[in-house]
Amino acid sequence: MLDVDGLARLTEQKDKESIKIQRQITLPWSEAVRISVRNVTIRLGRTMITASGIVLGIAFLSSVWTSGVIQDGLQQAQLQQERELVAATASDQAESDSAESEATAGPSETEKQAQGSKRIWLVVMSLLVCGVGITNAMLMSVTERFREIGTMKCLGALDNFIVRLFLIEAIALGILGSVLGTILGHLAMLGIFAIRERSLSVAAKMDWSQMLTYLLLCVLIGAVLSLVSAIAPAVRAARMRPAAALQSEI
Amino acid sequence: MAKIECPECGEQIEMTGIVTVCPKCGADLREVMQAVEHERDERMKTIARDDSVTTHEFIVRTRDLKKIYVMGEIEVPALRDIDLDVRRGEYLSIMGPSGSGKSTLFNMIGGLDKPTAGRCFIEEVDMAQLDAFELAWLRCRKIGYIFQTFNLIPVMTALENVTLPMIFAGMGTDEMMDRGRELLTLVGLGDRLDHKPYELSGGQQQRVAVARALANSPAIVLADEPTGNLDLHTGKEIIDLLKELNQASGVTVISATHDLKMIDVSDRIVHIRDGKIERIEHRHEIELEVGGMGR
């Protein structure tokens, strides 16, 4: 029933005399990336849930910044309009008019300041929200796989292999989720303002270079946050004794 | 206590290491003492060497192995002074009711957990002396694990599961794939290479686990209740597979179990109760008993 010769050949003891304990154990980066990416793509449902934490947090941040940039753009456009209006009126009235416009510019400056601090408050809040969301998502995705980690360690994985696998996964998820979240938040805000202004000119009025910087910052923050929040659970899981990891039930 | 002879007057003096002159004639004894010590050292060395030769037939040895689990404020002893010698190429079953410490012993021998006290040697290497890298190497190359719950990586195919330990061992991709395919064919799953664990039956999953345990030609296969989650028939198949493996390649098989089907194939059966070895049965004894009953 069984190919005994084949079995003997495949499992032949090469060094019958004695085992010399060695230390060389490898996990090439290419393999690590392959395994991590598979882990992400194969549990698509689970990945989506984990990623949605990131997406939502980053979407919030992105929307706050987008609305800020749009409001700035609208304000700028309004100022421009007023200035053009002023330039269009008679030049001999310029002095009194400029004094008038300065007078109107005064309160708008303090208004701007109030708006600025409100925006900072929103950004901090959204950072907190996405920080908590991402940490929670990463913590869950690590703890539900304790058994798998224990098995890997039985097969000879070093602690740092486990950490490496999870960090690659976290970065991939982080970038994916933040790109999605950034776009989502940005588009949502654009849509809201376009509807409010009843025109698509909002997009033309805003400072695109500033917008892009903010969007890139969103992706960066999302990726870094998910990486950082994955480190602690991954290290903790990797350090577990295999016996303990294998027994854990989730 | 060794005695030395004074080179001057012939007086016999006990060697204590404190007296360095002959109490009778006052001659300096240090040279003689050094010679005696040197001779003793040499003798100890040869004894140690002989010892390593004679005990080398044992692939696993445990000495006074203790494990105490701390549950809150209560200390629960799981193993109490286990002394066990496992011969190379032996098929050993560790039997006992659940909670007797079988799995704990399995974890100690496999280097999956640390004993509270005592030592565990694999081929005369004390596991407590190994660092993380050496321990990982040992787990990867020298020990193959089989579990009750199979513990395959759920997202990987059968072939990937089998080749994972080979990746850690640094094997080349082509060689790895060939070997993985061969191993899976050997355990009868040549046509299930790309199936995920959930697409396989329990018996098939355990076969994948057996193939994975053999990935790097280990010296020891450790099985913790390998038939615990299988029905009678598939359980028997796995036991036969392990036995064939043991006979074909001389791999030492140590399995913790309470499956009575294991008795037929085991060379020795260690009965454990309350963390202590109750008795050890040899196969020929059991056969005699059975034969006697038949008559």
pLDDT digits (tens, 9 = 90+) for A117-176: 887 888 888 778 777 877 787 788 788 888 888 899 889 888 888 888 888 888 888 888
Residue A4 located in a structural domain: no
Domain count, chain A: 1
Instruction: Give contacts of A243 with chain B, Cβ < 8 Å.
Output: 107, 112-113
For B164, name the nearest residue in chain A, comparing CA atoms only: A155
- Chain B contact set for A2 (CB, 8 A): 186, 188, 240-241, 244
Task: Say which of A14, A43, A241 has its CB closest to residue B217.
Answer: A14
pLDDT at A7 over 70: no
Choose, out of A4, A10, A15, the residue to mutate when testing the contact with B (most B CBs < 10 Å). Answer: A10
pLDDT of residue A13: 58
Low-confidence ranges of chain B (pLDDT < 70): 1-2, 15-19, 40-56, 286-295
Does the residue A94 lie in any domain?
A: no
Residue A23 has pLDDT above 70, yes or no: no
Nearest residue in chain A measured CA to CA from B150: A151
Question: For residue A131, what are the domain limits?
Answer: 33-87+108-247
Do the Cβ atoms of B151 and A147 come within 8 Å?
A: yes
Q: Please indicate, yes or no, if residue A172 is contained in any of the structural domains.
A: yes
Q: Mean pLDDT throughout A28-46?
A: 81
pLDDT of residue A14: 53
Report the pLDDT value the prediction gives residue A171, as an integer from 0 to 100: 87
Is A37 a member of any domain?
A: yes
Position B43 scores a pLDDT of: 63
Distances (CA, A) of A88 to A99, A100, A231, B55: 16, 15, 61, 106
pLDDT given for residue A16 in this prediction: 45
- Work out the mean pLDDT of chain A and round it to a whole number: 79
Assess if residue A27 is contained within a domain.
no
Q: Report the alpha-carbon distance of residue A222 to residue A209 in Å, rounded.
A: 20
Summarize pLDDT for B260-275 with one digit per residue, the tens: 888 888 889 999 988 8
Model pLDDT, residue B200:
93
Is residue A14 included in any domain, yes or no? no
Q: What pLDDT, on the 0 to 100 scale, is given for residue A130?
A: 74
Contacts of B183 in chain A (CB under 8 A): 10
Q: Which of residues 184-223 of A touch B (CB under 8 A)?
A: none
Is A95 inside a domain boundary? no
Give the pLDDT confidence score for residue B16 in this predicted structure. Answer: 64
- Cβ within 8 Å, pair A13-B219: yes
A19 lies in a domain?
A: no
Q: Do A151 and B153 touch (CB under 8 A)?
A: yes
- Asked whether the beta carbons of residue B155 and residue A39 sit closer than 8 angstroms, the reply is yes
Q: What domains are there in chain B, each with its CATH number? A: 3-54 (no CATH), 55-294 (3.40.50.300)
Q: What is the pLDDT of residue B49?
A: 46
Could you read off the pLDDT of A61-108 as tens digits, one per residue?
888 888 888 888 888 888 888 888 888 875 555 555 555 555 455 456
Q: Kindly determine whether residue B139 and residue A154, on different chains, have CB atoms separated by under 8 Å.
A: yes
Q: What is the pLDDT of residues B53-104, one digit of tens each?
A: 444 578 899 998 899 988 888 888 888 988 999 988 899 999 988 888 888 8
